[in-house]
Amino acid sequence: MEFEAETEEALVALAWRWVMGPRRQPDGSVADQVDQANHADLRRRQLGEVLNAIRGADSRRLLHEVAELSVHDTALLLDANLAARYGKRTGTAFAGIVAGPNKVMRRVARRDLVTWDADVRGYRMDPADAEIVLQRWPVR
């Protein structure tokens, strides 16, 4: 591995970032604007790779619905209405619909794309991920 920089300080910063990842504040947020921009770009690239790998029509449709609601901090409720819209008899089919995208997301980004909110019995997505999903897949 080689690093090139104009100054010793910049070289150390590059090596640090390579080994340790982006610097974080005590609250877990990324330390500076450059790191935040790099983190946002990484998130976009990772999610782009995940979305390109998702082929199932039901998975794409469900992700879009979850994203639309998640930008407004709302969950997609797992109820009889949802099952009927997808032509499923029970809600257990949705575990499989969500499993594929989450499996790819775990491989690429080491986290889930869609999470289960037991309090409301529904699916949620990180709002930043939701915005990217809606940008990449604007219309169902």
pLDDT tens digits for range 74-88? 999 999 999 999 999
As a whole number, the mean pLDDT across the chain is: 86
Mean pLDDT of the 90-108 span: 93
- The per-residue pLDDT for 25 is 61
Tell me which residue of 105, 107, 93 sits closest to 129, measured CA to CA.
105
- Residue spans of the domains in the chain: they are 56-140
pTM of the shown model: 0.71
| Distance, CA of 37 to CA of 75 (rounded, Å) | 28
CATH T-level assignment (fold) for domain 56-140: Arc Repressor Mutant, subunit A (1.10.10)
Q: Could you tell me which residue, 4 or 108, shows the higher pLDDT?
A: 108
Mean pLDDT of the 74-103 span: 94
pLDDT digits (tens, 9 = 90+) for 4-32: 777 888 778 777 777 776 666 666 665 55
